[in-house]
Amino acid sequence: MNRETRREMFEIFREQNPEPRTELEYADEFQLLIAVILSAQATDVGVNKATRHLFPVAPTPQAMLDLGLDGLKSHIKTIGLFNTKAENVMKTCRLLVEQHDGKVPADRAALEALPGVGRKTANVVLNTAFGQPTMAVDTHIFRVSNRTGLAPGKTVLEVEKKLLKNVPKEFLHDAHHWLILHGRYICIARKPRCMACAVSEVCDYKHKNL
């Protein structure tokens, strides 16, 4: 896929969805961070069902600590790997209170130092909460990048670096959301919905279902 085609793809994405947003529900940087930690190997729908009851009673790091580990588990037990996630959330809240004055840092190294926060989670928070042009590559974005020819790569990091290089700068901030939504609803894993795809004409996929 050449430079002009990549631009055309994102112009189409922008025309269809001018202000893309994450499907996770949150009120501030802290709630977004917790929601993203909980979303690992889980659906946004499932996370939202749990956090709708969790965040009203524990909207801050200190309130989460006051809730306690068992209290947190009772709210997120419907989410996969909830025991491990609960422990990471509590440890993260402790560090936020003790080292960051209860605030989520807008710094990659500081974010990745938090339990349960890897590069992908840090990228989501930096992009969505702080407006930084990062690219959080999950399974959907990895698939779309390779299948369409936008940013082919064998590893998540390779795809991330290629996306940062290949996506035109004016689209970089919103590209993460466009690509994840495209992979979640149109360019799905088993059988992509090419007939419903707005960018099928600029996509390099060789086995289109048209």
First to last CA, the chain: 20
Least Cα distance to 160 among 145, 174, 178 occurs for 145
Catalytic residue among 28, 70, 73, 138: 138
8 Å CB contact between 3 and 171: no
> Do residues 58 and 67 touch, judged by C-beta distance below 8 A?
yes
Among the listed residues 120, 174, 191, 204, the single catalytic one is 120
Strands annotated E in the chain: none
Total count of residues recorded for the chain: 210
Q: Is 101 a catalytic residue?
A: no
Phi first, then psi: what are they for 26, rounded to 5°? -160, 160
- Spatial CA neighbour of 139 closest among 116, 123, 117, 156: 156
Chain center to CA of 178: 11
CB neighbours of residue 123 within 10 Å = 22
Please tell me whether residue 187 adopts helix, strand or coil conformation.
coil
Query: Is 138 among the catalytic positions?
Result: yes
Count how many Cα atoms sit within 13 Å of the Cα of residue 124 in the half-sphere of its side chain. 26
Mind telling me the catalytic residues?
120, 138
